[in-house]
Amino acid sequence: MRHAGERTTRRRVPEWLLTTLAALLVFLALIAPPDIQHLTPLAILRIPVEGLLAAALLLVLPARPRRIVALALGSLLGLLTLLRIIQMAFSGIRGRQFDPVFDWPQLGNGVSLLEREIGLLGAFAVAGGAAVLAIAVVLVLALSVGRLARVATNHRRTTGRTVAGLAVIWLVCLTFSVQLAPSLPVASRSVVELAYQAGHQVRTSAENQRQFDAELSAADDTSVVGPLAALRGKDVVFAFVESYGRIALEDPEFAPTVKAVLDDGTRQLDAAGFGSRSGYLTSPVSGGDSWLAHATLQSGLRVANQYSFDKLVESDRLTLTSAFNTDWRTVAVMPANRGPWPAGDYYGFDQIYDEESLDIRSRTYFGFQAPDQYTLSFFQRTERERAGREPVMAEIALVTSHWPWHMIPYLRDWNDVGDGAVFDEPDAGQSASAQVVMLDNARMRDGYRRAIEYSLSTLVSYVQTYGDDDLVLFLLGDHQPPTYLIGENKGLDVPITIVTRDQAVLDQIADWGWETGLRPSPHAPVWPMESFRDRFLTAFSK
């Protein structure tokens, strides 16, 4: 009998362990906080009402329906847990909630970005691991709820009393708003709130998309479009500085040196006869998706997701580029683009330079790490120094300040830039492994600051070196950097600046209220980015 008892105990121990593990997994899935910042030890000291309701329901169901309902509830909890994980990632990177309707393509974009940083095999391994983990989460939680349902009904009286007692405690905590951790009430409703927020986001996204579709379908008001007479004969350049957000001018860790670069640049350009005016635009995105910001500026519509972008580029809506097509040669310089770029046809560029056609010979700095100085040098010698040329309008993406800020070249003499091989020299810049920098937030923040300083210094140097009476430069950010770098609730504003030697051009925008210099103050005007197109066309078509 003693041996039989020992065998029974040995069988029960694994069962107890499995039951305990199942309970722990289900409990953690039920009380998971809404974002990474709330992942603290006190976050687990909560009572999930969803668990109490599910337990009460399963206790009263007959055996067969109970098994089906338990598996269904577990699977639903698994899917909502996956949504929670994605929400945390989006909140940490984009600074906003994941859109269950329109943000799924971003997962593919993330894999493409990983491929460029860690290679095809590494990106495939990460994507495959994520897919296996997602399936495992749903399967394990479904089986866990099923196991707990069996155990609960085998101990129906004890389970019923426990549920009733916890329900009373939950109601008391709800009544008195008891919290042991900030923003995390003991009376937890995390899963219900997540499902409600997801449903609300779906409704909001659908409404916003209907509004976008209506604006896109409406006749485009092109009455403001004239021959852009105030810019006739000028080279007009729109230079997007990657991740150049308002935070660079306000965060105590970034602002002192970034503002010094801008203020020194203002003095240097003033001495060279250039005037500058600055303000802010509110980007439709944060932390990434630069092409949506570019499309917003170009089209005069707020393009906040890939679905809107795809519909836009299939339309015939006027772009800034197409407004220049009559008397200007229009070009796009996109050092991080690979292969065909269908949106280029919509914008109406005469010439598109991508990673391949830029032909940079550096083995270290290319693609998303292409030095901004090389990009501008290539543009200068290929377009602005071309013999017998017409005026040029250009959209240029400056990507040195692109995530993960681990490779920052030094500004060199422009005559030494050449084919870019010079950036492979030992003293060409500060480089580190992307993996090392990504695991060290302090290094990332320092790299971001230095990258922004490099990009801005390069633009100032370009104007000093190659600027003339015919250059009109708009430099602006595309979006704020990711939330994991700068924290939450930092807004969507990005600086924008015009630089030109022609006072008549600045006079055309006198009513914009932009401030003098390269650095907008905290009180500078803030416009929606989608309003820029019509303001620009109105000002320069006079």
Render pLDDT for 416-472 as a digit per residue (tens, 0 to 9).
Answer: 999 998 888 887 777 777 777 777 788 889 999 999 999 999 999 999 999 999 999
Return d(Cα 75, Cα 426) in angstroms, integer.
Answer: 55
Cα dihedral angle (531, 332, 345, 505), rounded to 10 degrees? 40
Exposure on the CB side of residue 184, measured as CA atoms within 13 A: 22
Radius of gyration of the chain (CA): 28
Please check whether residue 244 is in contact with residue 481, taking contact to mean a CB–CB distance below 8 angstroms: no
**Tens of pLDDT, residues 215-264:** 888 777 666 566 788 999 999 999 999 999 999 999 999 999 999 999 99
Q: Quick check: 11 pLDDT over 70?
A: no
The pLDDT value recorded for residue 214 is: 83
Please check whether residue 357 is in contact with residue 348, taking contact to mean a CB–CB distance below 8 angstroms: no
The β-bridge partners of 493 are 282
Return d(Cα 39, Cα 28) in angstroms, integer.
Answer: 11
Across the chain, mean pLDDT equals 87
Please check whether residue 493 is in contact with residue 245, taking contact to mean a CB–CB distance below 8 angstroms: yes
**Tens of pLDDT, residues 170-208:** 899 888 888 887 778 888 888 888 888 888 878 877 888
Domain ranges of the chain: 15-208, 238-511
The stretch 144-167 carries a mean pLDDT of: 88
Measure the N-to-C terminal CA separation of the chain; round to a whole number of Å. Answer: 102
Phi, psi of 351 (to 5 degrees): -145, 135
CATH number of 238-511: 3.40.720.10
Q: Specify the higher pLDDT residue, 349 or 364.
A: 349
Q: Which two tokens stand for residue 366?
A: 């290319």
Residues contacting residue 433 through CB under 8 Å, at least 6 positions apart: 406
The stretch 69-80 carries a mean pLDDT of: 90
Return d(Cα 282, Cα 87) in angstroms, integer.
Answer: 23
Residue percentage of the chain with pLDDT more than 90: 44
Classify burial at 232, counting beta carbons within 10 Å of its beta carbon; exposed 0-12, middle 13-18, buried 19 or more.
Answer: exposed
The β-bridge partners of 184 are 181
The pLDDT value recorded for residue 129 is: 73
Return d(Cα 176, Cα 184) in angstroms, integer.
Answer: 13
Q: Quick check: 392 pLDDT over 90?
A: yes
Q: Is 173 helix (H, G, I), strand (E, B) or coil?
A: helix
Return d(Cα 124, Cα 183) in angstroms, integer.
Answer: 38
Classify burial at 79, counting beta carbons within 10 Å of its beta carbon; exposed 0-12, middle 13-18, buried 19 or more.
Answer: middle
The pLDDT value recorded for residue 7 is: 55
Please check whether residue 434 is in contact with residue 404, taking contact to mean a CB–CB distance below 8 angstroms: yes
The pLDDT value recorded for residue 458 is: 97
Return d(Cα 499, Cα 373) in angstroms, integer.
Answer: 18
- Of 23, 12, 11, 62, which is closest to residue 143 (Cα–Cα)? 23
Q: Quick check: 476 pLDDT over 80?
A: yes
